[in-house]
């Protein structure tokens, strides 16, 4: 079946049958086709990708130029993937938000495909990962298409917001022009996860200012008493992918895939926080040690008939044995209850973060200039300067002023008082951050 299939900022796609194979041709937009370097860069990148094979990665067949040399459109010819663009699927309202367990299998396949791409070489990246470049087959298998567009768009030197609004391509903040390297791919994977969690395409206002709020919505923290879910463990992974803290950011999709696999393994192996395992009823009780009580010796002045040899025939024997059995029964029950209560108490304290003497931490937030809006995991917490009491854990602190948002990863331990001071710089330079522990005090 021939015809136009999908259009976005990069251009229009036309599907056709050639020599028995269905191909899809992306006619790049005028801005990219007119650039003198586009064709050569794409030819070089396509040659690098010839050896890369993955079930979730579409193969690029060739790079053409249709029309007069130097004036026609540059065309990326790839294998046609039957299915629906993920972007089209996310444009349709789906009702209630899908929990991470629902979209994680698809997302893992995409991460695996990008990791295979990065394995070709450190200088190889996709550059434009997003719902517009993912096709979902009828069996639910995602396929990442057009894995070379970053090579064409990087030389344009566009501003970060223009790349997002015109091409739907998010890039990390940099001091100079945007770099479409492997770290950029990983950040785009993080943005993709937020879109899947939100169940919609992200709009112009979502990037970059609303990323902390979107993360909190996609991976909400579980409430006390609620069993943990995949989203809770995934929160930290997405924060690293989004490079909230450059020091802990993934260097490539290879590292990101390994960390994602570790999360999955831990979810399957580790018990839920605060979970109490009650020993099964039966002859063996592995978690409650048996108490061996020696047979009591008879008093020195007792009658011979109550000794060990006379218990069977003694009239007092059954009563004594009954008393001993009752004593042992009460002892066993008491030991079991004490053990179970102790495990429950310790488990509950561990689950609620109450192992230390102080159950909360205090975050003191200052900024220059003052009066910036403060958000913690997407929730508004006043303006600077301010003092916030939080439960121990990892958070994303956001300071918003005007059109700029500064993201700061913060980890609080029990009883800790921590100062975070952010000084905005002129000319769009990276803000200066001062983070120090002020000591420990009494939490509430």
pLDDT in tens, 328-356: 444 444 444 444 344 433 443 333 333 44
Task: Give the Cα-Cα-Cα angle 247, 249, 250 (nearest 5 degrees).
Answer: 135
pLDDT score, position 270: 53
The domain that holds 28 is classified in CATH as: 1.10.510.10
Domain limit, last residue, from 311, 330, 349:
330
Q: Could you list the residue range(s) of the whole structural domain that residue 308 is in?
A: 301-330
Residue 349 lies in a domain: no
User: Pairing mode, if any, of strands 416-423 and 361-368?
Assistant: parallel
pLDDT score, position 12: 96
Residue 81 lies in a domain: yes
**pTM of this prediction?**
0.63
Rounded Cα distance between 204 and 169, Å, is: 11
Same structural domain, 374 and 306: no
> What percent of the chain is predicted at pLDDT more than 90?
43
| 67: pLDDT strictly greater than 80 | no
pLDDT score, position 309: 38
Residue 253 lies in a domain: yes
Residue 350 lies in a domain: no
Rounded Cα distance between 234 and 230, Å, is: 6
pLDDT score, position 433: 86
Same structural domain, 177 and 315: no
Confidence of residue 311 (pLDDT cuts 50, 70, 90): very low
How many separate domains does the chain show?
3
Same structural domain, 207 and 313: no
Residue 166 lies in a domain: yes
Same structural domain, 260 and 126: yes
pLDDT in tens, 181-220: 999 999 999 999 999 999 999 999 999 989 999 998 887 7
Rounded Cα distance between 349 and 164, Å, is: 45
pLDDT in tens, 263-310: 877 766 555 444 433 334 444 444 444 444 344 444 444 444 433 433
Same structural domain, 7 and 93: yes
Rounded Cα distance between 354 and 359, Å, is: 5
Same structural domain, 382 and 325: no
Q: Categorise residue 3: left if φ over 0, alpha if ψ from -120 to 50, beta otherwise.
A: left
| Neighbouring C-beta atoms of residue 155, cutoff 10 Å | 15
Residues 118, 253 contacting (CB under 8 angstroms): yes
| 135: pLDDT strictly greater than 60 | yes
DSSP notation for 256-305: HHHHHHHHHHHHHHSPPTT---PPPSSS--TTS-----PPPPPPTTS-GG
Residue 164 lies in a domain: yes
| Residue 295 DSSP label | P
Same structural domain, 176 and 308: no
Same structural domain, 373 and 422: yes
Rounded Cα distance between 353 and 361, Å, is: 11
Same structural domain, 217 and 365: no
Same structural domain, 241 and 383: no
Helix (H) or strand (E) holding 61: strand 60-66
Same structural domain, 195 and 49: yes
pLDDT score, position 11: 96
Compare 156 and 232 and report the one with higher pLDDT. Answer: 156
Residue 370 lies in a domain: yes
| 439: pLDDT strictly greater than 60 | yes
The domain that holds 368 is classified in CATH as: 2.60.40
Residue 41 lies in a domain: yes
pLDDT score, position 222: 57
| Neighbouring C-beta atoms of residue 426, cutoff 10 Å | 5
Same structural domain, 68 and 201: yes
The mean per-residue pLDDT over the stretch 147-158 comes to: 93
């Amino acid at each position: 079946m021939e015809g136009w299939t999908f259009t976005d900022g990069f251009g229009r796609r036309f599907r056709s049958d050639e020599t028995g194979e269905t191909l899809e041709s992306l006619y790049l937009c005028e801005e990219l086709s007119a650039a003198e370097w586009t064709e050569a860069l794409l030819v070089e990148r396509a040659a690098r990708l010839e050896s890369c094979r993955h079930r979730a990665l579409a193969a690029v067949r060739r790079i053409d130029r249709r029309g007069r040399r130097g004036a026609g459109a540059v065309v990326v010819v790839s294998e046609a993937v039957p299915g629906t663009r993920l972007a089209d699927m996310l444009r349709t309202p789906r009702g209630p938000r899908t929990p991470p367990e629902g979209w994680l299998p698809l997302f893992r396949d995409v991460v695996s495909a990008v990791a295979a791409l990065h394995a070709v070489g450190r200088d190889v990246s996709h550059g434009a990962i997003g719902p517009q470049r993912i096709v979902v087959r009828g069996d639910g298998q995602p396929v990442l298409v057009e894995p070379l567009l970053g090579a064409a768009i990087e030389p344009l030197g566009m501003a970060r917001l223009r790349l997002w609004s015109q091409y739907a391509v998010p890039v990390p903040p940099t001091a100079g022009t945007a770099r479409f390297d492997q770290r950029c791919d990983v950040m785009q994977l993080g943005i993709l996860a937020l879109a899947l969690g939100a169940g919609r395409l992200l709009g112009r206002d979502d990037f970059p200012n609303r990323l902390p709020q979107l993360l909190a919505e996609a991976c909400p923290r579980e409430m006390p008493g609620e069993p943990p879910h995949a989203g809770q463990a995934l929160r930290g992974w997405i924060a690293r992918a989004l490079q909230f803290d450059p020091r802990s950011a993934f260097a490539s999709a290879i590292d990101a895939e390994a960390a994602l696999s570790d999360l999955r393994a831990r979810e399957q192996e580790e018990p839920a926080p605060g979970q109490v395992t009650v020993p099964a009823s039966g002859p063996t009780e592995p978690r409650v040690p048996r108490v061996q009580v020696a047979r009591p010796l008879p008093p020195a002045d007792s009658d011979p008939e109550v000794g060990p040899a006379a218990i069977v025939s003694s009239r007092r024997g059954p009563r004594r044995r009954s008393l001993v059995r009752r004593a042992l029964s009460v002892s066993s029950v008491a030991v079991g209850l004490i053990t179970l209560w102790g495990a429950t108490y310790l488990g509950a304290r561990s689950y609620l973060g109450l192992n230390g003497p102080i159950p909360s931490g205090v975050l003191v937030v200052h900024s220059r200039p003052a009066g910036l809006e403060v958000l913690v995991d997407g929730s508004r917490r006043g303006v600077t300067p301010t003092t916030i009491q939080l439960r121990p854990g990892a958070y994303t602190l956001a300071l918003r002023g005007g059109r700029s948002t500064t993201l700061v990863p913060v980890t609080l331990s029990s009883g800790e008082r921590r100062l975070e001071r952010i000084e905005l710089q002129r000319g769009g330079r990276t803000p200066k951050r001062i983070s120090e522990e002020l000591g420990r005090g009494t939490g509430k």
